[in-house]
Structure 1
Amino acid sequence: MRWIFLLVCLQPRYLRGARILALFPIPSPSHYFFALPYLKSLASEGHEIISVNPYPLKEPIKNIYDIPVPEVFENFNEILEFVKTPKTTWQSSDFINEYTLNLTKSVLNNEGVRRELLSPKSPRFDLIIMDLWRIDALCGLAAFLEVPIIGMAPYGTDWKIDELVGNISPISYLQSPSSHFHNLETYGGRLSHFVERSITWINYKWRHVEKQKALYKKYLPNIANKHTLAETSRNFALVLVNQHFTLAPPRPYVPNMIEVGGMHVDPDPKPLPKELEAFIQGAGDAGVIYFSLGTNVKSKSLSEDRRKLMLNTFSHLPQRVLWKFENGQLPGKPPNVFISKWFPQQDILAHPQVRLFITHGGLLSTIESIHHGKPMLGLPCFFDQFRNMEHVQRMGLGLILNLKEMAAEDFNSTIVRLLTEKSFEVMAKITGARYRDKPMKPLETAIWWTHYVLRHNGAAHMRVAGRELDFFIYHSLDVLATFFLAFFVTLTIFAFCMIKALRKCYQFKNETNILKKKFV
């Protein structure tokens, strides 16, 4: 019995329930709602989750405890206003970097965070799981609490996330999340993509890295004296990426970067409310169109011109339309349109009567649509939505329109085309089948690798050396400079010898001519 008792005591803590700190302070709902099923699953296995987020649970869940950070909503509307007008790449980068800096500051100033996490009496943790949206200073909590850290990328990876783990991110064929889509199959597209990526990189490295460092030193001074921010932010045990090779162009990953695209998708759709089910069934063979612009872009905020264009188009369609509209009333709404402030989106997309999804193109919505094999009409508004919808169009899963500039005829003809051309439906079902064909469900994959990190004390053996290298060494610029210098020196010596030889030849020729004249 004594040996059994000792064996139990020596088991890794996670087997008896680990204490996990979850940092998801981003005000965009999609970031936290992507992670929530994962956190709930960990909690159901006995782990204790302390969650820093702006969306505290409406109903308590065993083993999940919220630290609300409502302050992050204070300036969130500034982002939505900012993207309404075209901006340069430098202006966009500057704005986002400054916004996330202030967001990070508001989290570190939060009373609950300071009391529960930054005080000397803070509880012991075994792991940190955090969002990876440029909240660099919060990475210092891993060093402060002396625990491994897992990052989550709800919108897929980008150069900044790749850099954290030393992942290769070839600019020649991988599109960056951006409000601009570059055709990388052309020289002009690669050139403009290179320029945009360079501007965003320079903006962050030259203007905002020092501000993040200052924040880190201010709130975690003792740790900052031992470890630099670069060291703490490049010490991720794992990065869970909301991506899959059927959802975007296939790309390489280092060992501790794991695809869990669609982790939030519920594999078991629930029955719809009776009123909603009756409306859908009443559509008959014509079917139903589901329309949602997500949580950040509000349909109620659309201009009167855009609303009238859509209502007029919908009124002439034989299909019925479900429209996520945030107001209780929609003047001029035709009888074939059903509005609601909220819809069970995944359950709707799973319904066989739903034939088309009109979407803003957010990654979570895109994945849900692909999972259920539904064609899409993309109306992207900002950031990664353009990249997501361009891939959807290239794969033959749907089409794209400009929400601000599309004419009524374009909107109507595109919807009709998507509903009548069978190729879109066929390709959507094929891609959905490819996406669902996996050895493990994404959520199971995330849980397994989380336990792997806990079992192996942070799994440092998975991390590549490239994450510790600076830009010049990582890209072998110092080596290339050596070859360039050697080539330059060799060329200089060769040129010097050639000039010296030519001078001697010229001198010899002159001396020969003088001798000839003398003897003549």
Structure 2
Amino acid sequence: MLALQLSALLLVLPACLQAARILAIFPFPGPSQYINVVPYLKKLASRGHQMTSINAFPQKKPVNNFRDIPIPEVFENYNDLINELNDPMNLWEENNFVNKFFVDITRLVLTNKEVTETLLPPGKDHYDLIIVEAIRSDAYYGFASHFNAPIIGISTFGTDWNIDELVGNVSPLSYTPLVTAGLTDRMTFGERVTNFVETTIAWLNYRWKWMPEQEKLYAKYFPVASKRVPLTDLNRNFSLVLLNQHFSLSFPRPYVPNMIQVGGLHISHKPAPLPKDLDEFIQGSGEQGVIYFSLGSNVKSKDLPAERRELILKTFASLPQRVLWKFENDQLPGKPSNVFISKWFPQPDILAHPKVKLFITHGGLLSTIESIHHGKPVLGLPFFYDQFLNVKRATQAGFGLGLDHKTMTQQEFKTTIERLIKEPQFAETARKMSDRYRDQPMTPLDTAIWWTEYVLRHKGAYHMRVAGQDLGFFAYHSLDVIGTLLGGALLVLSIILYVLWKIAKLAGFANSKKKQKTH
């Protein structure tokens, strides 16, 4: 009831707040990232704010108060890049690969024809607020300085050391794992060593090799703004960061006041009726129910090695359940009768169906959140980035299990599926987590809207900023203090040792004099 009342209050723009002009920048070619934020951007538009969105997925139908600036060039060679992620790389190479991708995307944004003609010329336009996907794309944070507007970041995967630096947040490495490390908050000593080393390598790689590239882009495309505000100051001047995370989805950890958890931002609708053929297939499953299998939008099932695909097909054929498989081709050779394929499924509506017993997923954060929201156990087959961490969390929490898709056997795959469906504790845990996640005073979307307009009402809400946002790395971690104290201690120790040496030398000299006299 409280959530409904609060939602009703948000339907009307507060009298104290005028409609704002907002520039949103979400150019990445992964559909899931834009799926996460587009309900939020549309909700802002529906409340009268004038939205301009730089993105790779423009609206198919016009939306009131919503202008798209499409960046279709980001799709060039994107599939090849995704496939390269499966190639063996060491940690330094992995970070080079990811950070080069971010630099290339940033450059594509700043060289886009509509951006260069309508947004970059000084005095051409104005905006009251900048909203960006905050993920190592520092150069286009320059729009905040360019328009002299506050900036809000959205992180679709939660936080890491890079997101933390935007608002001076603290993430103790002893229990906050690097997103890509595949660890949980309960780490052994060896895992803490791994977490420390991998985080350090990630930090050094970006700071030493790729941050200079972002600074060059910032100076080139924002020459006036870059002279006024250095990028190292700008990327520590965020008014707010919205995190696609929540303690009920992972684990509790510290956040500064201007870091707000809005995990499940995109889950904003009631389940819709399923298409007739899909509904009939699910209803015909009887008591055995249905398994839903999707590897998300970046990994394509059709591109799986033939041997892996055959293993999955044989496993599904041996199950009593029916299977919905997101498969990107029209035909799947050898498809058994209990498998229904489609290039696209209404995933949230499917997961809401009571006959769906299990979600086999790549472990993307949006899919993981949707499975928790609808109380479904998961079998994770992670491929890259935060997917390993999400599957590890599901295993630790007890609502899922994980397998290595490259090495699993048909027997392991089938046995794990049977465990997740037959052993009741997995479904029970998933339902409990769903209850915890849903027990919030406001929906994630309404929370995001309220805090966004809070920033607008209070002209950037700079009173929420912690002092850590203004400190450099050495001062923030007190390394300068520790260095000074250690240096002072070494100096005092050196003086003491020197004095003792002089005393010993003088004493030795005096003793030798006495010996000479006695002789």
TM range (shorter): over 0.9
Structure 1: runs of 5 or more not aligned: 1-10
8 Å contact from structure 1 (residues 23, 130) kept in 2: yes
What's 1:467 paired with?
469
What's 1:406 paired with?
408
Specify whether residues 77 and 55 from structure 1 end up closer, same or farther in structure 2 by C-alpha distance, changes over 3 A only.
same
Superposed CA deviations along residues 45-65 of structure 1, whole A, max 9, x for unmatched, are 111111110101111111111
CA RMSD between the two structures: 1.6
Please give the alpha-carbon distance, in whole angstroms, between the structure 1 residues aligned to 2:214 and 2:268: 37
Question: Which amino acid counterpart does residue 35 of structure 2 have in structure 1?
Answer: F
What's 2:327 paired with?
325
What's the CA shift for 1:103? 1.1
What's 1:91 paired with?
93
Equivalence map 1:41-440=2 (5 Å): 41-120=43-122, 122-178=124-180, 180-181=182-183, 185-440=187-442
Question: Which amino acid counterpart does residue 491 of structure 2 have in structure 1?
Answer: V
Q: How many residues align?
A: 507
What's the CA shift for 1:19? 1.4
Structure 2: runs of 5 or more not aligned: 1-12
What's 1:496 paired with?
498
Question: Which amino acid counterpart does residue 176 of structure 1 have in structure 2?
Answer: L
User: Greater shift after overlay, 335-344 or 97-106?
Assistant: 97-106
Superposed CA deviations along residues 183-218 of structure 1, whole A, max 9, x for unmatched, are 862221111211111111111111111111111111
Please give the alpha-carbon distance, in whole angstroms, between the structure 2 residues aligned to 1:62 and 1:12: 19
What's the CA shift for 1:180? 4.8
Question: Which amino acid counterpart does residue 290 of structure 1 have in structure 2?
Answer: Y
User: Greater shift after overlay, 108-117 or 339-348?
Assistant: 108-117
Question: Which amino acid counterpart does residue 249 of structure 2 have in structure 1?
Answer: L
8 Å contact from structure 2 (residues 182, 392) kept in 1: no
8 Å contact from structure 1 (residues 182, 193) kept in 2: no
What's 1:18 paired with?
20
8 Å contact from structure 1 (residues 182, 190) kept in 2: no
Specify whether residues 438 and 449 from structure 1 end up closer, same or farther in structure 2 by C-alpha distance, changes over 3 A only.
same
**DSSP-derived class of the 2:102 partner:** helix
Please give the alpha-carbon distance, in whole angstroms, between the structure 1 residues aligned to 2:46 and 2:412: 49
Please give the alpha-carbon distance, in whole angstroms, between the structure 1 residues aligned to 2:185 and 2:246: 21
User: Greater shift after overlay, 330-339 or 185-194?
Assistant: 185-194
8 Å contact from structure 1 (residues 131, 151) kept in 2: yes
Please give the alpha-carbon distance, in whole angstroms, between the structure 1 residues aligned to 2:499 and 2:371: 70
Specify whether residues 482 and 38 from structure 1 end up closer, same or farther in structure 2 by C-alpha distance, changes over 3 A only.
same
Please give the alpha-carbon distance, in whole angstroms, between the structure 1 residues aligned to 2:303 and 2:15: 49
Question: Which amino acid counterpart does residue 349 of structure 1 have in structure 2?
Answer: L
Question: Which amino acid counterpart does residue 500 of structure 1 have in structure 2?
Answer: K
What's 1:8 paired with?
none
Please give the alpha-carbon distance, in whole angstroms, between the structure 2 residues aligned to 1:470 and 1:364: 33
Please give the alpha-carbon distance, in whole angstroms, between the structure 2 residues aligned to 1:139 and 1:104: 10
Question: Which amino acid counterpart does residue 222 of structure 2 have in structure 1?
Answer: L
What's the CA shift for 1:502? 2.4
Please give the alpha-carbon distance, in whole angstroms, between the structure 1 residues aligned to 2:414 and 2:67: 48
Superposed CA deviations along residues 91-149 of structure 1, whole A, max 9, x for unmatched, are 11111111211111111111111122113463321111111121111001111111111
Please give the alpha-carbon distance, in whole angstroms, between the structure 2 residues aligned to 1:351 and 1:363: 20
8 Å contact from structure 1 (residues 14, 454) kept in 2: no
**DSSP-derived class of the 1:178 partner:** helix
**DSSP-derived class of the 2:228 partner:** coil
**DSSP-derived class of the 1:130 partner:** strand
Please give the alpha-carbon distance, in whole angstroms, between the structure 1 residues aligned to 2:14 and 2:450: 15
Specify whether residues 361 and 195 from structure 1 end up closer, same or farther in structure 2 by C-alpha distance, changes over 3 A only.
same
Please give the alpha-carbon distance, in whole angstroms, between the structure 2 residues aligned to 1:160 and 1:33: 23
User: Greater shift after overlay, 318-327 or 112-121?
Assistant: 112-121
Please give the alpha-carbon distance, in whole angstroms, between the structure 2 residues aligned to 1:187 and 1:14: 53
What's the CA shift for 1:179? 5.3
